[in-house]
Amino acid sequence: MTRLCASKPIITVNGKFPGPTLYAREGDTVIVRVVNHVKDNATIQWHGVRQLRTGWADGPAYITQCPIQTGQSYVYNFNLTGQRGTLLWHAHINWQRATVHGAIVILPKRGVPYPFPKPDKEVIIVLGEWWKSDVEAVINQAMQLGQAPNVSDAHTINGLPGPAPNCSSKGYTLHVENGKTYLLRIVNAAVNEELFFKIAGHNLTIVEVDASYTKPFKTDTIFIGPGQTTNALLTANKETGNYVIAISPFMDTVVATDNQTATGTLHYKGTLAFSPTTLATIPPRNATPVTTKFMDSLRSLNSKQYPANVPKNIDHSLFFAIGVGVNPCPTCVNGSRAVADINNVSFVMPTTAILQAHYYNISGVYTDDFPANPLIPYNYTGSPPTNMQTMNGTKVYRLGYNSTVQVVLQGTSMIAPESHPTHLHGYNFYAVGKGVGNYDPKNDPKNFNLVDPVERNTISVPTGGWTAIRFRADNPGVWFLHCHLEVHTTWGLKMVFVVENGKGPTESILPPPSDLPKC
Ligand code: C2O
């Protein structure tokens, strides 16, 4: 692929970057045969698809399956039960998802309308990142040196960076017509960036996130983390003209700097050639108030047809302190290396998939002792940090089938506070509360929204603050929870829930497919 005026080999799906869009309807069965034609191992995750009882098709390497090896194939077979909207698929091994990703469109069942005015047209917008160097070289830097990896050289809109320093590469153009309404299905497939998205001179009406309908609200800026999806209505209310479409990174700390903005053009039909383009005001890199306002505006639609069912009584109350710290490393340049952890445990990937170990009762792959709370409570958002060190382990936390779960995700400031877009596989959860500083278990729950909190699969844990999520563990299996910034996942910011088989057949996972890859 040629981007930024240089060519390099990349891994693609069916020769496309971004990859093909998967179109389906709510209730459909999806069958995708993935054939690995590259020298690296591969897997695909259907990010946000609930995978009810079909954990074998979820996709994270060494969690629910062994990778598909060179020359081999695997058929992902799953149902789209009770979900409609936009999601994404992406590779789920190393950093392969940098180039291996695409959108999933789940239309409502035939004859069922959207709960918002029918758009004239639907548009897929996939946001991504581009490195001039090989992505494997970037990951090696993060792993071997234990240092922050190079930030990408560009952001992309549907694979195109737009004009960049020293290269007039072309950007994405969205053609619109005065008076028409467009449903933008926006996917953040970036590797390490939460992003702002905006269109000069236009407001957007948010109607859905992570394949869950929301109460519609107007905004001039969308905040979207990697793994998140947002459906927004755009009304083309100008006669003619060109308007900048811009995506820019949100990074509210100075751990890495990245000011790259990717631009595209919203082009009205009938606009004269050489008409000027209206520029967008891009939020500053550290525009935390913009992210807060956006997240606070998100509410479940909570209609009769699409009710919010927020668990009221909680069986498992968990507190996860998540962050990035440093561990000693005699062989590293600085004598230390960055690690990331949850409750002081930096997760080590096993060499056998945890779901297989669980299903076949193979011992020695993981231990059952993931801590429900930090080992030693400390001032999570204080400075200086008080609890920098971590232990390694492949630890899981067991949840009873159909139990109700609350997880408070507490951001910490071990090195520097950072926002963490945290993703849970196998479930949607309700984001019932959030706040700055340390979570107060006595008073904060009084302000939880148990009526219409937004339902999603990936949530930003705010810098120097916390987010509380709730879900019902109604999907048996082995489910990954991790920061969707790939660098933090790589450093160990991840853990696994094992949801126990119950007695009846609906409470157990289905048997594995016969072509399940072997490790
Ligand atoms: Cu889309 Cu486990 O990540």
Inform me whether the pLDDT recorded for 377 exceeds 60: yes
What is the tens place of the pLDDT at every residue in 154-195? 899 999 998 877 787 789 999 999 999 999 999 999 999 999
pTM given for the model:
0.96
CATH code where residue 434 lies: 2.60.40.420
Q: What is the ipTM of this complex?
A: 0.99
Q: Is the CB of residue 456 below 6 angstroms from any atom belonging to ligand 1?
A: no
The residue among 334, 370, 367, 329 whose CA lies nearest residue 350 is 367
pLDDT of residue 386: 60
Atom of ligand 1 nearest to the CA of 484: 3
> In which band, very low, low, confident or very high, does the pLDDT at 90 lie, cut at 50, 70 and 90?
very high
Domain limits for position 354: 316-507
Whether 31 maps to a domain, the answer reads no
Is residue 490 a contact partner of residue 142, using CB atoms and an 8 Å limit?
yes
Inform me whether the pLDDT recorded for 362 exceeds 80: yes
Inform me whether the pLDDT recorded for 505 exceeds 90: no
Atom of ligand 1 nearest to the CA of 90: 1
Q: Is the CB of residue 299 below 6 angstroms from any atom belonging to ligand 1?
A: no
Q: Is the CB of residue 227 below 6 angstroms from any atom belonging to ligand 1?
A: yes
Whether 481 maps to a domain, the answer reads yes
- What amino acid is encoded at 64 in this protein? T
Q: What is the three-state SS of 236-260?
A: CCCCCCEEEEEEEEECCCCCCCCCC
Alpha carbon of 383 to ligand 1 centroid (Å): 31
pLDDT of residue 255: 53
Which helix (H) or strand (E) is 157 found in, with range? strand 154-157
Q: Is the CB of residue 60 below 6 angstroms from any atom belonging to ligand 1?
A: yes
Q: Determine the longest span between alpha carbons in the chain, in angstroms.
A: 69
Whether 155 maps to a domain, the answer reads no
Whether 336 maps to a domain, the answer reads yes
How many domains does the chain fold into? 1
Atom of ligand 1 nearest to the CA of 458: 1
Is residue 322 a contact partner of residue 493, using CB atoms and an 8 Å limit?
yes
Cα 202 to Cα 185: distance, rounded to the nearest angstrom = 16
What average pLDDT does the segment 310-324 reach?
Answer: 95
Alpha carbon of 231 to ligand 1 centroid (Å): 19
Q: Is the CB of residue 494 below 6 angstroms from any atom belonging to ligand 1?
A: no
Alpha carbon of 73 to ligand 1 centroid (Å): 20
Alpha carbon of 260 to ligand 1 centroid (Å): 24
Atom of ligand 1 nearest to the CA of 88: 1
pLDDT of residue 337: 80
Q: Is the CB of residue 337 below 6 angstroms from any atom belonging to ligand 1?
A: no
What average pLDDT does the segment 232-259 reach?
Answer: 85
Whether 233 maps to a domain, the answer reads no
> In which band, very low, low, confident or very high, does the pLDDT at 519 lie, cut at 50, 70 and 90?
confident
Whether 124 maps to a domain, the answer reads no
CA 32 from centroid of its chain's CA atoms: 21
DSSP assignment of 158-188, as one string? TTB--SBTTB-----EEEE-TT-EEEEEEEE
Atom of ligand 1 nearest to the CA of 60: 2
Whether 465 maps to a domain, the answer reads yes
